[in-house]
Structure 1
């Protein structure tokens, strides 16, 4: 089996149109995959379409596209278009996203997230095979949709999952799971729930990484990231389930409106568990621990300040 070594695109600090040379270099550096996301920056599909043209050897994946912010048919069309442009090289990762992105930024009720993901997954299975879909799901209704572009092969469908219910859905009805904000040790807790739904499932993990950054700088950046993410209800519930009691003081300070206190309350040990930093060789070894514990596709997410090119090259496998 090919060893996968993915990285998140587009790269911060570089204009989107100025990333051609670095993305074209990725295969020579040992990267096999590029994975996009969608929050308040670029959409998930445009960077992958560019990467498909700039580096045709790379596998492409979304990690993730929210199931609320595009209608089911629009999501199917976007996925089918990219899968047709890069046959056999695209994986569609979907997920709930968060109440902040869905409700506050897009004005869409964040209701019944498990059912919405399940229903979207079932719809996409049919739509991306070119079937005519007329069905009333629990969270939406589709009447007579047939995709005008049917990719061959249909892309794998991966589910962003944190806790047991969604993890089992990813393994049972999806082709695998996408993980986020966890340590290598946490992977051992999470992955069995995916494989309980079916053997041979892909497990992608976005791994926040800062190579060759001094510890104080790295921890300062990481604390801000942790506070921004792990106070969002879905991520807080995830870490409560994992038993990460060390975050209790941060959560209490955040609930009280004390943002500075929340940052200060994040222990170094939690930062070092959840964000990979240090010399590049140490970072590669730490990322490999995720793979050793059950992640099949690491998706490195650089949060390094400054020009990302040096970090990309330092973390490469060649």
Structure 2
């Protein structure tokens, strides 16, 4: 499950993590946009639920210096030895440049360089290196983790997917349908033992299809008009279905862009239906080759009306029996 959950203060997440664990969820994965940072929700989970595995999906490679990113990862790996995975990625110009006042230059090479730095630094090595996009002089972690965390790479198109396969411990996929997974995995080629495929999957567990599709359209027009995601979906073959949305967006017609997204695209990218139907749709990602399908829970009318009790029931229905937990 993606954490923290919307609308619930971090101080109240102890009950959320307990419910997730009881329902059979194995992992909690954070993100980092404009809400909570990537590490704080996981630090709380490390203390409150010692069975849950923790992961960032993702921490941007531009918004922290390499040394600070290594320190944050090492601290969490020390707090939760053997159950933390660091996911990194380029993020986007809006988050990096517009919100964090950092230049968004050469995202592929910056991501590659940070990946190489982190793998060495988290092993406790002294890094004294001139990379293509930055230079580090004699950096050594004072508290290297006893169990260095795996470093996973967020990837969309072939170049980054191949980099993940060649140099990372896994790949993180985002904004793709279950039927798209084989296309992405084909770029990875033969994977090393232990290499993990993680995918974030948007889930709106309601039978109110109009609500789910309206929310899905807002998300799709907000994300898939970003150049990197637009290029990704063109590569996946959605030029015909999403072309009208991109054209309306480029013309400044935000409402028209949302209206141009076909139901079939919304339904493929934002899963909805009863909780049990959503779980069945998530399982299709696993069947297609995803090792860690990570639900990103979206707002529903039922949650708005039912509050904490509705959330507890929903988590239980989205989970698996403990006997099935792997």
TM-score interval for Structure 1 and Structure 2 normalised by the shorter chain: over 0.9
Query: Map of 1:148-187 to 2, 5 A cutoff?
Result: 148-187=142-181
- Hey, what's the Cα distance between the residues in 1 that align with 2:297 and 2:16? 14
Paired residues, number: 312
TM-score by length of 1: 0.96
Query: Map of 1:244-263 to 2, 5 A cutoff?
Result: 244-245=238-239, 246-263=241-258
In structure 2, the gaps of 5 or more residues are: 322-326
The worse-fitting range, judged by mean Cα deviation, of 247-256 and 199-208 is: 199-208
C-alpha RMSD over aligned residues: 1.1
Pair 1:91 & 2:85 matched: yes
Does the CA contact (< 8 Å) of 1:168 and 1:196 recur in 2? no
| Of 237, 262, 270, the match for 2:265 | 270
CA deviation after TM superposition for structure 1 residue 212, in Å: 2.5
CA deviation after TM superposition for structure 1 residue 22, in Å: 1.6
TM-score by length of 2: 0.94
In structure 1, the gaps of 5 or more residues are: 1-6
Pair 1:140 & 2:134 matched: yes
| Of 199, 222, 232, the match for 1:205 | 199
Does the CA contact (< 8 Å) of 1:94 and 1:160 recur in 2? yes
Pair 1:285 & 2:288 matched: no
Query: Map of 1:3-152 to 2, 5 A cutoff?
Result: 7-152=1-146
Secondary structure (helix, strand or coil) at the match of 1:238 reads helix
- Hey, what's the Cα distance between the residues in 1 that align with 2:257 and 2:206? 26
CA deviation after TM superposition for structure 1 residue 109, in Å: 1.2
- Look up the match of 1:4: none
Secondary structure (helix, strand or coil) at the match of 1:19 reads helix
CA deviation after TM superposition for structure 1 residue 304, in Å: 2.2
